[in-house]
Amino acid sequence: MKPKALAILSLVALVASACSSSSATTGPKVVKIGIELPLSGAELPNGDPTLKGVQLAIAQHPVAGYDVQLNIKDDALNGKHDPQTGATNIGQLVNDTSVFAVVGPFNSNVAQAEIPVSNSAGLIQCSPANTNPGLTKGQSAIDLRKGSTKIAYVRVATTDDIQGQAGADIAYNVAGAKSAYIVDDTETYGKGLADVFETTFKSLGGTIVGHDGAGANQQSDFTALLTAAKAKNPGFVYFGGVTATGGGLLRKQMVDLGMASIPYGGGDGISDGSAATKSSFLNVAGAQGDVSSYMTVAAISLIPNADKFKADYKAKYGSEAGAYSASGYACAQIYLQALAKVGSDREAVRAYVTTTSNSFDTVLGTITFDANGDTSQHIISYYKFDPTTKDWAFFEQKDFISGKVTMASSAP
């Protein structure tokens, strides 16, 4: 049995080496970037533009000697991002030996399920959108890495501690509200965002008149919660969560209860396309529901050469770039630069990307990663609903480096 198995193994090795040597002479080596994003249902408007950003980067930045392809996995098979599915997907990507790096995931609770898998396999992940601080910082991050000192997860999005601050900044300074009511969806992302909003809003001088959470079985009916909130006359309602966990319905039911005039805000979880996009926040909230709705995105909108990027995206796909398209593009650029530098060995790519002294020239600007894998950019973009285009309109972005608020631009 054993010699036979050995013989087969050596045969396989021979064929494999023959293949690789022949491909080296006849054409570029096929390597893959794994994609792990929500690509179905309510979350398609999140995942799809991000994926297209990656594809655009690969098309625009060929690496000599390599044919870069994708291995695409969807973690929202049932219409909502699912950590279990994410963990299964990342396991499959680990098993595909041609995958040298992964772009994704999109959601923080999915990342929690994936990081232990990718970290122990040494397969680098770059998330375009994860914003939960615990994924990279503190004891929770050490637990996710199972005590390993190796970093195999980086992100180009900044974190919720900054995005929550930005939300409070919008409520207090842009909308001019002195009191706020907070609702979160009790998930990792939503609760984290809502808690930071609460602390910051208070420190700015505002009053929190209530903070409640609606779990998975309570995300259809907010009538009772809103009746209680309405009695407290909040100047602003902030939602920590995503459209699929009730963000749109909450706004819709505010309108039903005559609370349409109260400004509403949320994080990037409600940034999922215009009112015409099926199942997006603006679509679910309805035609009037979005009057004075705000949201923040943990990404840069005023990117260097923004016009070129947007034009290239539109030329290729015929639609506007999404809030995280450029972030997906940047993740892919980082991998392509690593591939050109150190080749397609997983460990070499991981080590190169996570070395803090290496910097990457991306569509978002120059990025370096700190010892935790967090980006050097701490920029949040502010958006407001535009009733004429029925879509989100960017109006300013702020740089939150070391807690200092600096205005980068204010032209809407």
Going by C-alpha positions, the residue among 265, 267, 331, 329 that lies closest to residue 298 is 267
By CB under 8 A, residue 215 contacts another protein: yes
Q: How many whole angstroms separate alpha carbon 168 and alpha carbon 180?
A: 9
Q: Which residues of 298-337 are buried (b: 16+ CB within 10 A; e: fewer)?
A: bbbbebeeeeebeebbeeebeeebbbbbbbbbbbbbbbbb
What does the block give as tokens for 328? Answer: 């997906």
| 202 touches another protein by CB under 8 A | no
Smallest Cα–Cα separation from 183: which of 240, 259, 111, 126? 240
For another protein, the closer CB: 19 or 276 = 276
Report d(CA 244, CA 247) in Å as an integer.
Answer: 7
Stretch that binds another protein, among 17-25, 106-114, 281-289, 311-319 (CB under 8 A): 281-289
Q: Which helix (H) or strand (E) holds 101?
A: strand 99-103
Structure-block tokens of residue 66: 């390599």
The reply to whether 284 sits near another protein by the rule CB under 8 A is yes
Distances from the Cα of 198 to the Cα of 263, 399, 411, angstroms: 16, 20, 28
195 binds another protein per the rule CB under 8 A: no
- Interface segment toward another protein; rule CB under 8 A; list 52-60, 125-133, 200-208, 224-232: 224-232
List the one residue from 228, 276, 393, 405 that touches another protein (CB under 8 A).
228
* Position 156 contacts another protein (CB under 8 A): no
- Least separation in angstroms between residue 186's CB and another protein is 6
Binding window for another protein (CB under 8 A); candidates: 51-59, 92-100, 211-219, 263-271: 211-219
Q: Minimal distance in Å, beta carbon 184 to another protein? A: 8
Per CB under 8 A, the list member of 28, 116, 286, 343 interacting with another protein is 286
| DSSP letter, residue 133 | G
**Residues making up the chain, counted from first to last:** 412
* Piece of the chain touching another protein by CB under 8 A; list 86-94, 152-160, 279-287, 290-298: 279-287
Cα–Cα distance measured from residue 172 to residue 161, given in angstroms and rounded to the nearest whole number? 17
Q: Nearest CA to 382 among 318, 296, 305?
A: 296
CB-based contact 124:350 (threshold 8 Å): yes
Beta 125-127 vs 153-155: how paired, if at all? parallel
If one asks whether residue 409 binds another protein (CB under 8 A), the answer comes out as no
Q: How far is CA 43 from the centre of its chain?
A: 12
Among 42, 144, 156, 380, binds another protein (CB under 8 A): 42
Q: Tell me: does residue 23 bind another protein (CB under 8 A).
A: no
Residues 253 to 272: which contact another protein by CB under 8 A?
253, 255-258
d(CA 10, CA 6): 6
Which segment (49-57, 86-94, 149-157, 225-233) binds another protein by CB under 8 A? 225-233
Q: Give yes or no for residue 411 binding another protein (CB under 8 A).
A: no
Residue 78 binds another protein, judged by CB under 8 A: yes
Residues that bind another protein (CB under 8 A): 40-43, 78-79, 186, 210-218, 220-221, 223-225, 227-228, 231, 244, 248-249, 252-253, 255-258, 278-279, 283-284, 286
